Structure 1
Amino acid sequence: AGGRTRATLMRDRGFLTISLAFALALFAQVGMVAHFIARLAPEFGPNGAAWTLSLVTLCAVAGRSLLTRFMHDENRRRVAAVNFLMQAAGTALFTFGGGLPTMLAGCVLFGLGFGNLVSLPPLLVQREFSGPEIGRAVALIVAVNQAVFAFSPAALGILRDFAGSYTASFAVATTLQLLAAAIVLLGRPRVRSRA
């Protein structure tokens, strides 16, 4: 087998900061997507809201291309933090903004980081862990993330029902994205062995 066990990884600061940051960010993202049309339909109608979601998808493709351009071995955590901050800015525009230009800007910012949330964790793990730990760490992060974000549509929906609008739900999502940016920067990168 080789490498550290799952239990040992769960005590590693680098692993914990990657796992927690992406679990929070994916909780926010999955919850937002589940409520995206319902949030934007009152302003743009169902068709207009669907078109804005299409814009998010197009921006997700562009965001992945930008990621490959700016990602270097030494700055992977910073790129992840910028990705979280960009999505937080887009989410904040959905939360507190109104009108077509603001909502489109929110779509662009949210979309640019959208696809990167699933591709960044393995890239960070690849940089900071070695050998058999890589597969074990990635699998554990994916399992944790899925367990956490499975509850996000319901949680944001309950908060919306309780508050009477999406302001509180999307403000929570924004806060989680900001927290994810801070957490991912707290991780102490380790140089992987080249043995």
Structure 2
Amino acid sequence: MTGGYGLLVADLIGVAVFAASGATAGVAKRLDLFGVAFVGFVAALGGGILRDLAIGSVPPLAFADWRYAVTAVAASLAAFWLHPTLNRLRRTVLLLDAAGLGLFTATGTLKAIAAGVPPVGACLLGMLTAIGGGLARDLLTGEIPVVLRREIYAVVALGGAVLVTVMHRMGFTGLLPLVGAAGLMTGVRLLALYRKWSAPVAAPRF
């Protein structure tokens, strides 16, 4: 498997995972079929669209390559019809969401680097790629975005983006480092969920 093809496969897996996550949120809000598909599409591709606009890649890959849109819609429709099963497999959904976070952070960061974005900007765009769709999903379904709450989510994405950038500058390129970084982010996210790690919040004052 070539590096370019591996990057595409990792990207599409992330799209499918986040689309299913977004569609499941739409089902929970009792949206119709179109609404579920739309929320799934936005959750899967929103972050990537923002990244592509930021680096001047127009039209964004989500619109330029039909495989992205088709994957997002297909995964959303599958989640619509299979949501009772997905609800029973909550741990599996959390695992897939964590995997999507890792994959999108890694691929988003590498795409920003390839576009000539400086390291700090590449890290921020890698994080945005991973969390942008989730932000849009939560806003569309009337929820406070998960990245603004106490869960360790955006912090994992930012830390992973820094790791990918450092590895790239050290010459560790190709599919294996990408998978390793994505796997590490996935593991940290799952560990944070298991141990109930959270970012600090301000104490209320009366």
Q: Same fold (TM over 0.5)?
A: no
TM-score by length of 2: 0.34
TM-score by length of 1: 0.36
Whose helix fraction is larger, Structure 1's or Structure 2's?
Answer: 1
Higher relative contact order (CA 8 A, sep 6+): 1
